[in-house]
Every structure is written in C-alpha cells, then in structure tokens.
C-alpha cells in the first residue's frame, strides 16, 4: 500500500538524486581553452661515417686547409655551412664553418673559435680542424654534443692569416708572426728584400742573443739578431723583413693606447698604420658585427695559458674570470695550471693600464659586449728555452753570443704529437660549448580565452644552462611579426627566473595559431605556439554508477508492481 501510494513520488526523488550524484547530463558540452606548446623541431639522422683528416700528423698549408674544409662540408652538409667572410692581403679566402642542425632554422645560441692570427702558430689550425671533426663524429653518438649542435650555432674560423701560413709551412719561415702586407722598412724603394734566411743550410733560421761579457759571472743582455744575408748589398743584414702588421694588435679598441705593442715596423707586435687597416681583421670585424657571442676562443701558441681581458685595474671581470681559472685548472693538464695560478695577481689594482692595445679580446669585450673572449694558448715547449738550450757561438772578454735554434718546436709540437695535444686540450672546448648561454624553458597558460582581443596570461620558467655566463641581455618575448610583447631582466649563470607576460590576441584562435619566441641574440630564441584546445566539460550519458543504480530501482519497482 505504502509503496504503491508513494511509488511515483519516491521514484521521482530517487531519480533526481541519481541525476545529481550518479549520472551526467545527457547533452555533451566541451570546454574550449587556450594552450601553449613548444614548437616541434626536426632531428637529423646520421648518415655519415666518422671523418678522418686528409692530412693527419701533418701541418697544413693553405691549399690543404681548403681541402679539409671542402671534405668536411661535402661529408656532412646537413650540419656544416660554409661562408667566405673576406680575403687575406694576397686574396686567399677566409672561411667560417657553422656547425649546427640546419633543419632547425630559428636563431640559436652562438659560440666562436677563431684560429691563427699569427703565422708561426699553425698548431692552432690543427686543433681547430680536430674540434670540427670531434663535433661531427660525436653527433648522434654523444648525447651532450648532439644537444649542443641541435641548440647552438658553433662557428669555427680555422685560419685567419693564410698568407703567412704558407711561408711558415712551405718555406720554413718559423719566425713569421705578422701578415704579408709588404713594407719598405729600410726606405730604399724595395719591399721585403732583406729577410732573415737560413745561411747554414740546416733548415732553421737561428737567433743570436748578444750579451755584454765584461763581467762573465753576470752577462748583461744587449740585443738579438738573426741569421741572414745582406741581400741588397748595403752592408746591413735583415733590415727589411717580410711581414708588416700583428693582426692581434690591429683591432679598434685601445689601438696604440694600451700595452703590448711597438711603433717599430720591424717589431713582431707592430699594430699597423691604422685600426682595422688589414683585410684579415676587417673580415673578422664584419663577421663578428653580425653575431652576439657571450664567450669565444682565439687559439694561439707560445705558452700554456688562458688569457682574459684586462682593464686599467686588472681583469675586467675578476670574479667571473677567477672562477673560470679554477675550472680550467680542474679540466686541463697540470702543465697549464702554473700560469693560471700566476694570473691571480691580475685581480689586484694596477697603477698603469694593462689593456692589450688593439687586441682581438679587447675589441670583443669593450666594443661587442662579449663577456669572456678568451685567448686559449695551446702549446709551448718549455725545454726549448730551458738552461742549456742555447749554444755558445762566441765568447771573449767583451761579449758573449748565444745561438738558439728551437724556434720551430717552441710554438708547435712535432707533427706526430698533434693528436696527443688535441686530447689534452679537448676538455677546454667542451667547456666553451657548455658555457655558451642557452635556455631551458617550461611554459604554462595561467588564464585567458581564445577569441579576438582576449587577454592571455603566460608564465615561463626559464633556466640559464650556462654554468658561468649570464644571458648577457634581457630575455624578451616576441610575436612572430616581431612585435615585442614583454621583457625581463637578464638571467645569471646557472639560475632560473619565473617570467610572466600578458598578451592580447589579435585574432581568434582556431585553424590559425599564434606564434611566439622567447630569448635574445646571445641565447637564441625558443619558439612556442598558442592554440585552441578542447577540454572535457559536462557530458551526458549515465556514469557506470548511475546506470547501475537506475537499473536496480527499475527492477525493484517492477517486482513490487507484480506483487
């Protein structure tokens, strides 16, 4: 009786409850939202075997350098792009190799290795070529190097002073440091006609150090002259040598206004007649003006050391450089650490300017905002200048003359040891790549719609992956049309910032998506896409629980009714 009397009301109440608790509405309604995703970037499949040098255990002349460059490019065109950035005085092409994943065409973080400002330091070319091979041979074999190549543009200029290289390698002129612009040093109307020459025929141009020997227990150094012939028959020897400008004194920053140069045209550190007077430095200048480097290497030899930029007080970035010195001590062989430790004194104030006059690193730091342009000195043979390395040519009561023959192996190892040297210094190149400022970004939509003029609030958790170099500049958010949407401060090394930006949509998201990029010219730009996405809202259709409860009640109701 009771059930029959109230059954219809009971069923209505229960059914309503089921709808609220166990059953969803029967009409589907998807919720539309805006989403942000990182742009998918293509990978490159490795199709090449490991590269090997065409001329191994050998110092390359300019023709052989070009052969190696062409072989590198032809072997791995998907990772290597060649650019002629200028010519030497004699018209030889100066080439830059860009190593990067070329399928990822957006601007990336950039790093630089430039070699061979100085003719006699040809080991720098050998190390640069091996660095390129190391990168290409490691791609898709070493995850770290693969990641560097995918996310960086690695520029390598194997040789800047190719004219002098040929005289050093082909003609054994192992003293030649400067470029080959001719100059009439002795003002006789002829150019480079009275050079140092191998008179003895032993393949080496000797130097002779002359000392005042009136007190044999303490000889006093007077001057040095070189082996040679009086070619112009004026009674003087080696008065018009080949070579004019030290390219590493020819840059337009503190030119002839700092340390380390001489006004004597015969000097190995003569800076040229004007800043950027030489086609070789002009080529590098024009190249560098198109790029932003937070850190860079110039490869040299003549000492085992790494030189940082000085200002008038010492190191230009003392805290940073001291940390980097300690890093190098930990990663490079012990033979490099003595000079590094000695450089600590550069943290102290100095009474006079120590800025290198017209140096590559001086220009990059003061004019191009490169925080750490580092002169990486690769080699010096200490035994070549050890006591006893000179032989007595003449000794009497008035003077002492010592002959030195080790110019070749002072700046460069013998060819069979080049690969061993590369193995020793390779950690320094890994360090360069690791310290190139680049970003890791996690993006998120905080709020906003997808329609025209809707505001969208975005957050980016941005990490600077470089252990030592800050992002150098503000981190900026741009639309695909170049509109600046917002900026944040630079990010310190090994640090992260949470950045928030709000933008107004210029159109309704749908088939059309909105492109964004975040970064700067040093870190490169990381690309993101705003789009419309569907999220599940209220949808009908009984849930499993609702179906079960509803079915049970119907069965009970029918049984009661039969009774």
- pLDDT digit string, tens, across residues 223-246: 888 888 887 777 778 878 899 999
Token pair for 398: 């008035």
Distance between CA atoms of residues 256 and 350, nearest Å = 19
Which residues, in sequence order, are CB contacts of 74 under 8 Å at separation 6+? none
pLDDT in tens, 94-119: 999 999 999 988 999 999 999 999 99
Residue 364: which pLDDT band, with cuts at 50, 70 and 90?
Answer: very high
Per the DSSP assignment, residues forming a β-bridge with 311 are: 314
Distance between CA atoms of residues 299 and 117, nearest Å = 8
260 phi/psi in degrees, rounded to 5: 85, 25
Alpha helices, DSSP H only, in 407-532?
407-411, 418-435
pTM: 0.88
Per-residue pLDDT at 120 exceeds 80: yes
Specify the pLDDT at position 339.
Answer: 60
Specify the pLDDT at position 543.
Answer: 44
Per-residue pLDDT at 7 exceeds 70: no
Alpha helices, DSSP H only, in 244-387?
279-288, 318-331, 337-342, 360-368
Distance between CA atoms of residues 388 and 316, nearest Å = 39
Distance between CA atoms of residues 501 and 521, nearest Å = 20
pLDDT-wise least confident of 384-393, 518-527, 533-542: 533-542
Residue 278: which pLDDT band, with cuts at 50, 70 and 90?
Answer: very high
Per the DSSP assignment, residues forming a β-bridge with 157 are: 114
CB 158 within 8 A of CB 123: no
Report CA-CA distances (Å) from 433 to 109, 234, 268, 530: 10, 55, 32, 31
Residue that has been written with the tokens 């680049």 in this structure: 438
Residue 3: which pLDDT band, with cuts at 50, 70 and 90?
Answer: very low
Specify the pLDDT at position 414.
Answer: 95
Q: Which CATH architecture has domain 437-535?
A: Sandwich (2.60)
Average pLDDT over residues 13-24: 45
pLDDT in tens, 318-331: 999 999 999 998 99
Closest to 126 (Cα-Cα) out of 65, 74, 49: 65
Neighbours of 559 (CB within 10 A): 9
Token pair for 454: 């809707």
> β-strand 207-212 against 514-520: which pairing, if any?
unpaired
Specify the pLDDT at position 342.
Answer: 53
Domain with CATH 2.60.40.150 in the chain: 437-535
Angle, helices 62-75 vs 162-171, to 10°: value is 120
Quickly list DSSP for 482-546: S-EEEEE----TT-EEEEEEEEE-SS--SSS-EEEEEEETTTEEEEEEEEEEEE-----EE-HHH
Distance between CA atoms of residues 197 and 170, nearest Å = 14
Token pair for 344: 């600590």
Q: Taking CA 178 as the corner, what is the angle to CA 176 and CA 183, rounded to the nearest 5 degrees?
A: 105
Average pLDDT over residues 125-141: 98
CB 450 within 8 A of CB 162: no
Token pair for 552: 């049970």
Range 484-492 contact pairs with CB under 8 angstroms and sequence separation of 24 or more: 485/516, 488/462, 491/439, 491/462, 491/463, 491/464, 492/464
């Amino acid at each position: 009786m009771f059930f029959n009397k109230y059954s219809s009301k009971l069923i209505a109440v229960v059914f309503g409850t089921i709808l609220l608790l166990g059953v969803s509405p029967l009409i589907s309604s998807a919720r539309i939202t805006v989403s942000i995703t990182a742009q998918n970037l293509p990978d490159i499949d490795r199709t090449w075997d490991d590269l090997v040098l065409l001329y191994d255990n050998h110092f390359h002349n300019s023709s052989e350098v070009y052969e190696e460059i062409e072989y590198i490019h032809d072997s791995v065109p998907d990772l290597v792009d060649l650019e002629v950035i200028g010519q030497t005085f004699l018209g030889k092409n100066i080439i830059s190799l860009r190593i990067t994943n070329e399928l990822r065409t957006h601007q990336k973080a950039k790093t630089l290795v430039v070699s061979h400002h100085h003719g006699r330091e040809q080991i720098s070319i050998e190390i640069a070529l091996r660095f390129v091979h190391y990168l290409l041979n490691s791609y898709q074999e070493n995850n770290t190097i693969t990641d560097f190549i995918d996310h960086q543009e690695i520029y390598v200029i194997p040789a800047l002073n190719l004219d002098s290289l040929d005289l050093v390698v082909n003609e054994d002129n192992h003293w030649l440091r400067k470029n080959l612009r001719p100059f009439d040093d002795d003002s006789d109307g002829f150019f480079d006609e009275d050079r140092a020459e191998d008179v003895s025929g032993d393949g080496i141009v000797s130097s002779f150090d002359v000392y005042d020997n009136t007190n044999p227990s303490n000889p006093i150094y007077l001057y040095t002259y070189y082996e040679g012939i009086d070619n112009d028959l004026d009674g003087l020897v080696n008065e018009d040598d080949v070579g004019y400008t030290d390219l590493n004194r020819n840059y337009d920053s503190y030119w002839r206004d700092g340390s380390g140069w001489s006004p004597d045209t015969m000097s190995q550190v003569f800076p040229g007649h004007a800043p950027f007077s030489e086609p070789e430095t002009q080529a590098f200048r024009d190249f560098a003006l198109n790029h932003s480097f937070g850190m860079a290497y110039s490869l040299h030899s003549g000492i085992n050391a790494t030189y940082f930029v000085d200002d008038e007080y010492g190191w230009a970035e003392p805290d940073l450089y001291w940390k980097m010195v300690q890093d190098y001590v930990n990663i490079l062989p012990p033979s490099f650490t003595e000079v590094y430790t000695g450089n600590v004194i550069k943290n102290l104030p100095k009474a006079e300017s120590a800025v290198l006059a017209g140096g590559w690193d001086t220009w990059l730091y003061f004019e191009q905002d490169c925080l750490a342009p580092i002169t990486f000195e690769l080699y010096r043979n200490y035994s070549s200048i050890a006591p006893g390395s000179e032989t007595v040519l003449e000794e009497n009561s008035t003077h002492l003359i010592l002959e030195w023959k080790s110019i070749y192996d002072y700046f460069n190892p013998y060819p069979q040891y080049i690969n061993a040297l590369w193995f020793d210094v390779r950690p320094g190149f890994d360090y360069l790549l690791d310290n190139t400022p680049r970003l890791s970004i996690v993006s998120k939509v905080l709020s906003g719609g997808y329609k025209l003029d809707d505001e969208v609030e975005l957050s980016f958790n941005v990490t600077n992956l470089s252990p030592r170099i800050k992002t150098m500049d503000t981190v900026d958010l741009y639309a695909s049309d170049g509109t600046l949407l917002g900026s944040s401060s630079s990010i310190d090394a090994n640090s992260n910032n949470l950045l928030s930006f709000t933008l107004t949509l210029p159109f309704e998201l749908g088939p059309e998506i909105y492109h964004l990029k975040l970064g700067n010219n040093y870190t490169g730009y990381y690309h993101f896409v705003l789009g419309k996405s569907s999220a599940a809202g209220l949808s009908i259709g009984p849930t499993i629980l609702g179906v079960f409860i509803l079915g049970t009640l119907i069965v009970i109701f029918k049984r009661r009714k039969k009774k």
